[in-house]
């Protein structure tokens, strides 16, 4: 079943900061003042090209996005800011002060290259409930980044967090193998279950310009958060063209963007 409504695109700009931090970790300016590449500048280009929101993950080890990036984004962007964060008291306080439109609770491991696996909401139900409640009080929507696992989705439904983000990483990794079909079926079942439980279904991780043809057919899909593939494509085409092409492939041809 195709989605009746256009799927929204959240552009994750973490890896613009990864590139910057690879060279300029120790300095706060270069001779041109702004340190390149500037994730905020690239985020604004993504918005101009039709991104419906910007996602950043402020990690505990600050390996890519810095607090100053988030502050400047909050001041200058025009769409929705989605803050990916660990479920820690420090990050909850930070989010409440920042006031993003949404937060996405993710697991965080120091040794991982990128977010690996979904959040175990079943194993820390009360903690997650407290965070959802605190965010609700501040008008911030909470999304739970979880595997398409029936038990996790059931708990997400009980917690009443209005959004989940299904982890598409295993599917993306299996795309060129004979596990692709079963991984995709698992995502579809998870999406149906979440929808029945009244949850809004987002998805992300490993979505690219090829697998989007299938990912976009996931039932009830509200929003995709895509980072790595768009940032990589932008190196050759520029950010605006990279975002427009993804929007077109998502089925949103004619996306206007911000004037």
Closest to ligand PXP by CB, 228 vs 256, is 228
**DSSP letter (8 states) at residue 120:** -
Tell me, yes or no, if 205 is annotated catalytic.
yes
Tell me, yes or no, if 84 is annotated catalytic.
yes
C-alpha dihedral sign at 208, 116, 125, 136: negative
**Interface with ligand PXP, residue 12, by CB under 6 A:** yes
The residue among 205, 149, 145 whose CA lies nearest residue 174 is: 205
Tell which positions 40-99 bind ligand PXP, by CB under 6 A.
Answer: 57, 84
**Interface with ligand PXP, residue 145, by CB under 6 A:** yes
C-alpha dihedral sign at 211, 216, 222, 223: positive
Closest to ligand PXP by CB, 4 vs 123, is 123
Report the C-alpha gap between 80 and 100 in whole angstroms: 7
φ, ψ of residue 186 to 5 degrees: the values are -60, -40
Nearest distance, CB of residue 117 and ligand PXP, angstroms: 10
Nearest distance, CB of residue 74 and ligand PXP, angstroms: 19
**Interface with ligand PXP, residue 228, by CB under 6 A:** yes
Look up residue 117 and give its two tokens: 């696996």
Contact characters 157-176, ligand PXP, x per CB under 6 A: --------x-----------
Nearest distance, CB of residue 216 and ligand PXP, angstroms: 14
Task: Kindly report the number of other CB atoms within 10 A of residue 176's CB atom.
Answer: 10
| Crossing angle (nearest 10°) for helices 150-159 and 125-137 | 40
C-alpha dihedral sign at 258, 202, 104, 133: positive
**Interface with ligand PXP, residue 204, by CB under 6 A:** yes
Binds ligand PXP (CB under 6 A): choice among 20, 205, 222, 233 = 205
Catalytic residue among 47, 84, 183, 223: 84
Q: Are strands 80-85 and 53-57 parallel, antiparallel or unpaired?
A: parallel
**Interface with ligand PXP, residue 226, by CB under 6 A:** yes
- Cα of 128 vs its chain's centroid, Å: 18
C-beta separation of 25 from 239 below 8 A: no
Nearest distance, CB of residue 84 and ligand PXP, angstroms: 5
Total binding residues toward ligand PXP, as defined by CB under 6 A: 19
The b/e string for 240-252 (b: 16+ C-beta within 10 A; e otherwise) is: bebbbbbbebbeb
Nearest distance, CB of residue 205 and ligand PXP, angstroms: 4
Catalytic residue among 57, 64, 167, 222: 57
Catalytic residue among 15, 167, 205, 222: 205
Active site residues: 57, 84, 205
**Binding residues for ligand PXP, per CB under 6 A?**
12, 14, 57, 84, 104, 106, 114-115, 145, 165, 204-207, 225-229
């Amino acid at each position: 079943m195709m989605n009746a409504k256009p799927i929204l695109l959240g552009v994750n700009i973490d890896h613009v900061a990864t590139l910057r931090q690879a060279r300029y970790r120790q300095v706060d300016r270069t001779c041109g003042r702004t340190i390149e590449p500037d994730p905020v500048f690239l985020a604004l280009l993504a918005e101009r090209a039709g991104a419906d929101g910007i996602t950043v993950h402020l990690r505990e080890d600050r390996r890519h996005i810095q607090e100053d990036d988030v502050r400047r984004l909050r001041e200058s962007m025009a769409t929705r800011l989605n803050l990916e964060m660990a479920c820690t008291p420090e990050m909850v306080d930070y989010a409440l002060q920042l006031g993003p439109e949404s937060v996405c609770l993710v697991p965080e491991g120091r040794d991982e290259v990128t977010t690996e696996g979904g959040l175990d909401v079943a194993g820390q139900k009360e903690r997650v409930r407290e965070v959802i409640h605190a965010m609700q009080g501040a008008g911030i929507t909470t999304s739970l980044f979880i595997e398409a696992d029936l038990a996790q989705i059931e708990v997400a439904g009980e917690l009443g967090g209005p959004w989940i983000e299904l982890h598409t990483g295993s599917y993306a990794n299996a795309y060129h193998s004979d596990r692709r079909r079963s991984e995709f079926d698992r995502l579809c079942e998870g999406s149906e279950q979440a929808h029945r439980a009244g949850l809004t279904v987002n998805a992300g991780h490993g979505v690219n310009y090829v697998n989007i043809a299938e990912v976009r057919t996931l039932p009830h899909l509200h929003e995709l958060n895509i980072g790595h593939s768009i940032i990589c494509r932008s190196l050759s085409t520029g950010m605006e063209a990279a975002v427009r092409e993804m929007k077109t492939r998502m089925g949103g041809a004619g996306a206007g963007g911000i004037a």
